[in-house]
Structure 1
Amino acid sequence: MKNCLNVIISRQWFRMRPLTLCVLAVILFIDIASVVSDDQLDRYSDLHQKYFQMSHLQRQECSNNKCSSEYKKLSKKQPCWGYEKHCRKRNYYSYPICPEDSRGWEHTKEKQIDKFWRSADFGMIREFRDEMMHLCKADEEGDSTLDCNQHMRYCRATNLYMNLKNSRMADSRERFRTDVFKKGEIGGHCQLDGQRLKNSDKQKGELQSWHSELRPFTSLKFKPVIDRHHCDVIVERPTYFMKLDAGINMFHHFCDFVNLYVTQHVNGSFTTDINIVMWDTSSMNYGDFFTLTWKAFSRHPVKRLSDYDNKRVCFKDAIFTLPPRMFYGLYYNMPLIPGCYNSGLMKAFSEHVVHRLNITSKPYDPNRYRITLLSRSTKYRRILNEDKLIGALKTIWNYDVTRVDYTYQMPFEKQLEITHNSDIFIGMHGSGLTHMLFQPHWGVAFELYNCEDEGCYYDLARLRGVKYLTWEKKKYLIQQDEGHHPTLGAHAKFTNYAFNIGEFLRMIEKGVKHVAANRPKISADNSVEDSSIKTEL
């Protein structure tokens, strides 16, 4: 606001009356804020502001599937994510790269690209939005609503009533009970389509949909929030309910965060002035090694459903987020079409988290390569000759080598900073490789050995758009023993490994060549020149 006033005064508009000047400044400020932010001007990174503008315009200029001529005119040239109405492909945030064959999944290159975009990119958002249906419709002002997409994987409710007086969560050790509500204990004042609600049970499951939780939804005779005497607590702030996967495992927990980000796109809001409520019907502790990440989504502490135990709660605006283990979801349970990589959705998620958590991209020497090896202090999947591999890397003059052990003793913010500034990130098969989500766009993720689980981190690297490497010649790998799974017997993930140094350095050189070809060049004046990722897998 102060800068705005300075500009006005500098243009010799000081002859205006003070009141007129202040009103004009406020109008200008509101106009700017309406384009880039609902609640704070730094809500989006500089990279993303222009893509959100079309989403804002769509909300303002479109209704009942009809858009104004002004919106249609602007949409021809406005950058967009890809899911907005009238968004043109040439204006998409990004588009999949599919240099290899689909192995029979699709018969044309165009269909292969479209399949990846719809199943693993911003095309998912469009499909989720197109699936939305009314389960409980409002008839008049102040009524409630319940709208969900297919299979009730995402739902949004207004003026929602929850009676938790009989929930008994304090005595429960079941995280996802389906008997928390009976008829009349969850619902709203609206016209319920009971048959449609009943028939939305085809993919119900603890971490796959919200059908079991919302099946008792009832059409009530009173208006929640409006008829305040029915509510012990009224929650005005938008509330996101989340069913969480394992909080101590980065691979699984980031399924939660990725799907929360996708939910925000579906919902069309990225304000941090929201409540996040963990839908956990037990009294058990939830271990979370990645609590910092919540700050990328909300400025308020995460709540638990049990915080409302023994109360009647009315929520003005409630969102039931996409669960982490949906059928064909991101990225757990995802059959990813072969031959493609570079999901703009995953790239945008990475940039969003990096921006919100204020992770710094450090300057780099264009003649050197930053290599990070993730060590393991666990019993299994350790690198038996790790010291020798590190020593071999350090003999090469232009390799800057760092060895890390990402445990709870290192702040997660520090972990992200190291990973975000790693050209090549090396690690054994394990959840720590999920850090590849936050490597630079030209980065290389080297899964030193996949322990016979070939698709897991290969697919994650394809989604993120980083180069993936793994050990190629098994004859140059030494397995300590057959492995000792506690119930399954011999198992490749339950032993340790040593690696041939020469072969290891050869693989690293492959990664270095990729980085050299794709990392933005540094010009003579030390500015970074743009460099697009080459189409190689």
Structure 2
Amino acid sequence: MMYLILTNIKVDTKDGHPSILEHDNLILKLKTYEDRIQQLTKKNAKPDEESIVKTKSDSDQNNLSVSDHEQVYWSKVGVDEHTKNCDSDFGFSLIDRWRKAKTEVCSSTTDSTIHCHKILQTGHSGTDNFCYVKNMILDVNKAEKPYLSGSMFSSCKKESSWNSNEYQLYLANLMSNVQTDTKKKQTKTLTGRTFFIERDGHANVFHSFTDIVNLFMAVLIHSKGSEVSDMKNNRIIILDSHDNGPFYDVWKLFGEVYRVEEFKKEYADQVIQFEDAVFGIPGGSNFLWKDVWIPNKCYESTILKAFVRFVMSEWKISEHKRRLPNEPIRILFSVRKHKNVQAKIGRRIMNEEELIKLLNEKLTTVSTDNKIPVQVTAIDLGTIGFKEQIEKVRQADIFVGMHGAGMTHVLWMHDESVVVELFPKGWHSSGMRNISKWLGRVYLSWQNVHDKNVADAEHLWTHVEEEEFLQVMKAASQIVQSFHLGSGVDHQNLKFVPK
């Protein structure tokens, strides 16, 4: 399958498939992208009414635009298997796989049905699944956390496929609690999509974003178009008992968010019919977990890039302002603190202050002894609001910190940035390396190999070797500077040279 990705597009839909794409002065009327490719490549084929290419500035509708020629070119050249497989695992082809996996597990006896989407993701030992209930009834007074036992009804008849769907994690509990072959009279109908979600956690940024990215994917799978409004007009019911947590506002970007107790209070004594109820994809099924212990070979995730763009756009976070060649390199040093001094932090840098001083005083280029102007900001990101965390990370040229969930902030870094991840002795993980690569960030790492630098019995508290750290940061700074070569930089003296 081929995807044409354009910026500033408007998409009209018919039966859930793109039918009109508008980009500046170009309008392509399509049934599907594949149909368009086939029609363009057929010899002597006459364009039909549904596939004609029009340009507002060109009355000759038979002339192909640059975009059309690009489609024809790629259809002839083809895409290599590695790229196709990567898109199938981390790109919009994964969305397509979920869509096509739709199976009816409970057929309608009146007006309610249940469909599930089951796929086997690459490298997973079992299948992953999520389900969609049309016109589900919820008796609000009976709804109890976490899985609404005894309160959910669907007037449908179970098919044989019901038992073969291998419902994983909390989905198994939700599906077992839906009472079928039951007609219950509703007192109120809620239109639109409602997602029922049990979070993997509330405080760990990595675990939290496996859930949130899954919601983003589920909305895409069920959207009938690509408009931003499709992403926002949802209802989310949180089933777990965790606190709201620092990322609760991110959930609100998708629509109204309720805890079960809040929903019960607002709709007390009601029997609600949900037009579209979706039992979401569990966080443990998310592709961010894929190859978390080994380097993944894929170089891009269009889903992840789209998700980052969605969050940035909804929160109106300013784009990174490209630094001028003579401006300091902005280094954000993520420190790990704890309000309770008696509590133990898992992975910790024991000489943070010395490293920060080292960067300010001795950071030079790799190839010369010239001092690099740097601006070092050391911060425990957990002490500020999440939107502010994103804003700070977005403006950094280099993001450095000890391996941990906080390094998930590589999601928000700008395109000409470098990630530096530090590891304790004997600890290996490729999760942040993979995310960095999928988003096009430059990734560097350092690992302690010296017993003398281990400060605890678990080998997690680490004195970072200063000279080794300095060399890694020199390399990171050199990479940042390299983005400006050819822009008027006197690389020997590191100053702006007017052209």
Name 2:131's counterpart in structure 1.
155
Secondary structure, aligned partner of 2:289: coil
Partner of 1:144: 112
Counterpart-to-counterpart distance in 1, 2:160 and 2:235: 31
The residue matched to 2:283 in structure 1 has which SS?
coil
Partner of 1:256: 211
CA distance in 1, matches of 2:114, 2:67: 32
Aligned to 1:349: 307
Alpha carbons 2:246, 2:385 under 8 Å: kept: no
| Cα distance in 2 between the residues matched to 1:306 and 1:445 | 40
Q: From 143, 149, 152, give the equivalent of 1:186.
A: 152
Which residue, out of 221, 236, 239, partners 1:276?
Answer: 236
Query: Structure 2 vs 1, CA of residues 441 and 199 (structure 1 numbering), >3 Å: closer, same or farther?
Result: same
What code does the residue aligned with 2:419 have? A
Q: Which secondary structure state, in structure 2, belongs to the residue aligned with residue 318 of structure 1?
A: strand
Residue 387 of structure 2 aligns with which residue? 413
Aligned partners of 2:476, 2:452: CA distance in 1, in Å?
19
Q: Tell me, which stretches of 5 or more residues in structure 2 are unaligned?
A: 21-29, 40-47, 55-63, 119-126, 339-343, 362-370, 490-499
Instruction: Report the secondary structure of 2:165's partner residue.
Output: coil
Shift of 1:193: 4.1
CA shift, 1:54, in A, is 8.2
CA deviations over 1:191-210 (Å, ceiling 9, x no partner): x3421111112x5223xxx2
Look up the SS of the partner of 2:453 in the other structure.
strand
**How far is 1:511 from its partner?**
1.7
Residue by residue, what CA displacement relative to the aligned partner does 1:6-46 show, whole Å, maximum 9, x if unpaired?
xxxxxxxxxxxxxxxxxxxxxxxxxxxxxxxxxxxxxxxx9
Secondary structure, aligned partner of 2:115: strand
Q: By how many angstroms is 1:505 displaced?
A: 1.7
CA shift for structure 1 position 52? 5.4
Instruction: Assess, with a 3 A threshold, how the Cα gap between structure 1 residues 325 and 391 changes in structure 2: closer, same or farther.
Output: same
SS in structure 2 at match of 1:302: strand
Look up the SS of the partner of 1:153 in the other structure.
strand
How far has the Cα of 1:129 moved from its partner? 1.1
Of 446, 466, 470 in structure 2, the residue corresponding to residue 471 of structure 1 is 446
Q: Which runs of 5+ in 1 are unaligned?
A: 1-45, 81-86, 96-108, 170-174, 225-229, 484-491, 525-537
Q: What fraction of aligned residue pairs are identical, expressed as a percent? A: 20
Residue number in structure 1 paired with 2:174: 213
Q: 1:468 to 1:70 in 2, by over 3 A?
A: farther
Identify which of 298, 302, 310 aligns with 1:340.
Answer: 298
Match of 1:111 in 2: 81
Matched-pair contact (CA < 8 Å) for 1:240–1:318: yes
Which amino acid is the alignment partner of residue 453 of structure 2?
Answer: I
- Alpha-carbon contact 1:366-1:521 (below 8 Å) kept: no
Equivalent residue of 1:325, what SS?
helix
| Structure 2 letter corresponding to 1:415 | Q
Report matched runs for 1:74-89 at 5 Å: none
SS of the residue 1:247 aligns to? coil
Distance in 1, Cα, partners of 2:66 & 2:243: 43
Distance 1:54 1:334 in 2: 36
* 2:94 corresponds to: 124
Query: How far apart are the structure 2 equivalents of 1:454 and 1:517?
Result: 28
**Alignment match, 1:435:** 409
1:74/1:497 Cα in 2 relative to 1: closer, same or farther (>3 Å)? farther
Given that 1:232 and 1:312 are in contact with CA atoms closer than 8 Å, whether structure 2 keeps it comes out as: yes
State how 1:323-334 maps to structure 2 within 5 Å: 323-326=282-285, 329-332=286-289, 334=291
Q: 1:338 to 1:415 in 2, by over 3 A?
A: closer
For residues 161-204 of structure 1, the C-alpha deviation after alignment (integer angstroms, 9 at most, x for no partner) is 123544444xxxxx4x5xx435xx534344x3421111112x52
Aligned counterparts of 2:250 and 2:277: Cα–Cα separation in 1:
21
Structure 2 CA distance for partners of 1:310 and 1:469, relative to 1, 3 Å: farther
Q: How far apart in 2 are the matches of 1:133 and 1:245?
A: 26
1:58 and 2:18 equivalent? Answer: yes
Task: Give the residue type in structure 2 aligned to 1:382.
Answer: R
Q: Is the 8 A contact 2:424 2:462 kept in 1?
A: no
How far apart in 2 are the matches of 1:77 and 1:155? 41
- In the alignment, the residues of structure 1 paired with residue 314 and residue 486 of structure 2 have an alpha-carbon distance, to the nearest angstrom, of 26
TM-score scaled to structure 2, two decimals?
A: 0.72
Task: Determine the structure 2 residue equivalent to 1:196.
Answer: 161
Aligned-pair distance for 1:219?
4.5
Query: TM-score w.r.t. structure 1 length?
Result: 0.68
- Of 307, 316, 327, 1:358 maps to 316
1:319 pairs with 273, 278, 286, which one? Answer: 278
Contact 1:325–1:333 (8 Å) recurs in 2: no
Q: Which residue pairs with 2:189 in the alignment?
A: 234
Aligned mates of 1:521, 1:403 — CA distance in 2: 31
* Other structure's SS at 2:357 match: helix
> Which digits, 9 at most, give the CA deviation of each residue in 1:386-440, with x for residues without a partner?
1221112113442221111112x31212111000111110111111101110001
Structure 1 residues 152 and 167 mapped into 2: Cα distance closer, same or farther (>3 Å)? farther
8 A Cα contact 1:200 1:211, kept in partner? no
Partner of 1:24: none
Contact 1:425–1:445, Cα closer than 8 Å, also in 2: yes
Q: Secondary structure at the match of 1:440?
A: coil
Change in CA separation of 1:457 and 1:220 when aligned onto 2, cut-off 3 Å: same
**Further displaced range: 460-469 or 317-326:** 460-469
**Deviation digits for residues 101-129 of structure 1, max 9, x if unmatched?**
xxxxxxxx933333222112222111111
Secondary structure in 2 matching 1:134: strand
Partner of 1:246: 201
Shift, 1:144, TM fit: 2.2
Deviations 1:469-526 (A, max 9, x none): 111562497111322xxxxxxxx33xx21222222121112222333345798699xx
Residue pairs, 1:363-512, within 5 angstroms? 363-367=321-325, 368-378=328-338, 379-380=344-345, 381-395=347-361, 396-407=371-382, 409-449=383-423, 452-472=427-447, 474-475=449-450, 478-483=453-458, 492-493=459-460, 496-512=461-477
Equivalenced residue count is 417
Letter aligned with residue 514 of structure 1:
I
CA–CA separation in structure 2 for the residues paired with 1:443 and 1:454: 21
How much has 1:291 moved relative to structure 2?
2.1
Greater strand share, structure number? 2
User: For residues 216-253 of structure 1, what are the alpha-carbon distances to aligned partners after superposition, in whole Å with 9 as ceiling and x for unaligned?
Assistant: 5455464x7xxxxx224432242122221111111110
Deviation for aligned residue 1:130: 1.4
| CA 514–263 in structure 1, closer or farther in 2 if over 3 Å, else same | farther
Inter-partner Cα distance in structure 2 for 1:512 and 1:146:
54
Give the whole-Å Cα distance in 1 for the aligned partners of 2:208 and 2:432.
15
Contact 1:152/1:200, CA 8 A, preserved across alignment: no
Shift of residue 347, structure 1, vs aligned partner: 1.4
Tell me if the contact between 1:278 and 1:305 (Cα under 8 Å) persists in the aligned partners. no
Root mean square deviation of aligned Cα: 3.8
C-alpha contact (below 8 Å) 2:238/2:257 kept by paired residues: no
